[in-house]
């Protein structure tokens, strides 16, 4: 399976991709459902019902007494009477400021859920990019380890040829063999690390772990422009979905607080019903009723006051989170900028050190072949070349990882990944 970085991100951010993306989509769906629930309190409510009644009434129970007539008895029991009642009912909120504020809060909460989904997409992109980068680093480490093994084999052959020519010693061969064994051990470790890093990449993409990807993008150094902290902070205020989502949550908390505050206002509701009613064996006669009701809260045992205190606490809590989120974003930007500056310097130093160690190895081999140096000098130079290659891979990986961290901190991960 050929797999580029852009393709890996596309798979992870698909609707059925990474678990975090799927969860964010479900949270957005739930917020939309809550918005519709809040809206229902402001829309007409229509229902229909059918009632069948069979009843008897005793007029004596109502205090009605019939006069006594000699030879005639009045029956005080009426019924049984059987009645059908088919009716439609409708209610409509005319004025309920608390319900209006709750609906406005639900709309803002939906916007916050969408911002959270955008943040989740960015986090998934960053996680997949780092997993892909780690896999390419492991691949480069394996390549480097193979090159180090080949170099150790070459040094061993050189020591053997010098001994065969009578200018070398057995200790030089033994030393070269130890170095070769060490490099082979490093190759085994690098191979294991490569396998594990590929598995972690597949897990980040939410793919079957049996997939065998062929990474088409390789680990390479891309110079980065390091912006000023204030410039990055200004960009983050515009781009970071986490800041936008938290501001929206604070706004929703303010609206919820307003809704609890306005619950003490009167609310007006219009109502009406229309239907037919009549005896089972008789005609059904149409009836109707319309009107309006005004509800004035007077005393509810302290329920509204408690809800208002709770919503005020939630508003203060969201304000604390807003300030904390802003400070966290600033911390992430400043640390990622410092990490990127350091990584850029490390790449330059590692490349210079590798170039110098390769020159040292070439000179040591010439001196050893000419018989003016021993094999220890070659082995030490070979070790420095091997470590120089590993340091170059590590420094490039660190620089690319710092670029991703800066993109996440600013909220512009897509530009970093291009």
Q: What is the pLDDT of residue 283?
A: 84
Q: What is the pLDDT of residue 417?
A: 73
The reply to whether omega before 80 is within 30° of 0 (cis) is yes
Residue 323 has pLDDT above 70, yes or no: yes
Task: Give the DSSP H or E segment for 45.
Answer: strand 45-58
Cβ neighbours around 268 below 10 Å, total: 13
Distance CA 93, CA 358 (A): 83
Question: Could you tell me which of 181, 310, 322, 182 has the C-alpha nearest to residue 243?
Answer: 322
Q: Which two tokens stand for residue 45?
A: 């409510």
Q: What is the pLDDT of residue 375?
A: 73
Q: Which two tokens stand for residue 219?
A: 């680990």
Q: Per residue in 84-95, pLDDT tens? A: 999 999 999 999
- Reported as a pLDDT band with limits 50, 70 and 90, residue 154 is confident
Distance CA 206, CA 199 (A): 10
Distance CA 153, CA 288 (A): 101
- Reported as a pLDDT band with limits 50, 70 and 90, residue 166 is confident
SS3 content of the chain, % helix, strand, coil (to 5): 65, 15, 15
Q: Which two tokens stand for residue 387?
A: 């470590």
Q: What is the mean pLDDT of residues 337-353?
A: 94
- Reported as a pLDDT band with limits 50, 70 and 90, residue 164 is confident
Q: Which two tokens stand for residue 172?
A: 């030089």
Cβ neighbours around 300 below 10 Å, total: 12
Backbone angles phi, psi at 284, to 5 degrees: -90, 125
Distance CA 10, CA 199 (A): 18
- Reported as a pLDDT band with limits 50, 70 and 90, residue 186 is very high
CB-CB contact of 19 with 116 (8 Å)? no
User: Helix or strand or coil: residue 286?
Assistant: strand
Distance CA 165, CA 187 (A): 31
> In whole numbers, what is the pLDDT of the chain averaged over residues?
90
Question: Could you tell me which of 322, 318, 328, 319 has the C-alpha nearest to residue 409?
Answer: 328
Q: Which two tokens stand for residue 404?
A: 């991703």
Radius of gyration of the chain (CA): 40
Residue 308 has pLDDT above 90, yes or no: yes
Q: CA-CA-CA-CA torsion for 140, 146, 152, 158, nearest 10 degrees? A: -120
Q: Which two tokens stand for residue 356?
A: 């110098």
Q: Per residue in 248-292, pLDDT tens? A: 999 999 999 999 999 889 999 999 999 999 888 778 889 999 999
Residue 368 has pLDDT above 90, yes or no: no
Residue 109 has pLDDT above 80, yes or no: yes
Distance CA 279, CA 53 (A): 9
> Residue 52 carries which DSSP code?
E
Q: Per residue in 9-34, pLDDT tens? A: 999 999 999 999 999 999 999 999 99
User: Domains of the chain by range and CATH?
Assistant: 2-44+80-417 (1.20.1600.10)
Q: Per residue in 112-146, pLDDT tens? A: 999 999 999 999 999 999 999 999 999 999 999 99
CB-CB contact of 108 with 259 (8 Å)? no
Q: What is the mean pLDDT of residues 194-214?
A: 94
Cβ neighbours around 180 below 10 Å, total: 20
Q: Per residue in 371-406, pLDDT tens? A: 777 777 888 888 889 899 999 999 999 999 999 999
Q: What is the mean pLDDT of residues 198-207?
A: 94
Put simply, whether the predicted model's pTM sits higher than 0.85 gets the answer: no
Q: Which two tokens stand for residue 200?
A: 């972690």
Q: What is the pLDDT of residue 418?
A: 67
Q: Per residue in 34-65, pLDDT tens? A: 999 999 999 999 999 999 998 888 877 777 77
């Amino acid at each position: 399976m050929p797999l580029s970085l852009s393709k890996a991100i596309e798979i992870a951010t698909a609707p059925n991709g990474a678990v975090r993306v799927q969860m964010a989509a479900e949270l957005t769906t739930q917020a939309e459902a809550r918005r519709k629930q809040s809206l229902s309190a402001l829309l007409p409510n229509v229902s229909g019902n059918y009632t069948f009644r069979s009843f008897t009434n005793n007029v004596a129970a109502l205090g009605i007494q019939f006069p006594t007539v000699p030879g005639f008895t009045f029956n005080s029991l009426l019924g049984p009477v059987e009645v059908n009642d088919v009716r439609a009912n409708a209610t409509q909120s005319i004025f309920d400021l608390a319900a209006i504020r709750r609906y406005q809060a639900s709309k803002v909460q939906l916007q916050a859920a969408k911002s959270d989904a955008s943040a989740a997409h960015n986090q998934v992109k960053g996680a997949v990019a780092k997993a892909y980068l780690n896999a390419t680093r492991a691949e480069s480490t394996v390549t480097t380890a193979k090159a180090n093994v080949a170099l150790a084999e070459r040094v061993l052959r050189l020591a053997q040829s010098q001994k065969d020519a009578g200018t070398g010693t057995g200790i030089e061969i033994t030393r070269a063999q130890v170095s070769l064994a060490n490099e082979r051990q490093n190759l085994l470790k690098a191979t294991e690390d490569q396998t594990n890093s590929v598995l972690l990449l597949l897990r980040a993409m939410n793919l079957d772990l049996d997939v065998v990807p062929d990474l088409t993008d390789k680990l390479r150094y891309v110079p980065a422009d390091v912006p000023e902290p204030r410039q990055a902070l200004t960009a983050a205020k515009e781009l970071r979905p986490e800041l936008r989502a938290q501001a929206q949550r604070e706004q929703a908390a303010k609206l919820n607080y307003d809704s609890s505050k306005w619950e003490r206002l009167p609310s007006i509701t219009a109502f009406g019903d229309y239907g037919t009613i009549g005896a089972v064996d008789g005609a059904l006669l149409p009836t109707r009723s319309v009107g309006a009701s005004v509800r004035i809260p007077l005393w509810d045992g302290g329920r509204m006051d408690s809800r208002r205190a709770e919503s005020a606490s939630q508003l203060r809590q969201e304000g604390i989170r807003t300030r904390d989120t802003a400070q966290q974003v600033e911390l992430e930007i400043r640390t990622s900028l410092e990490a990127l500056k350091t990584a850029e310097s490390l790449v330059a130093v590692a490349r210079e050190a590798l170039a110098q160690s390769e020159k040292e190895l070439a000179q040591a081999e010439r001196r050893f072949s000419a018989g003016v140096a021993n094999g220890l000098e070659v082995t030490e130079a070979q070790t420095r070349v091997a470590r120089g290659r590993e340091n170059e891979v590590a420094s490039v990986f660190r620089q690319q990882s710092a670029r991703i961290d800066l993109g996440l901190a600013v909220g512009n991960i897509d530009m970093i990944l291009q």
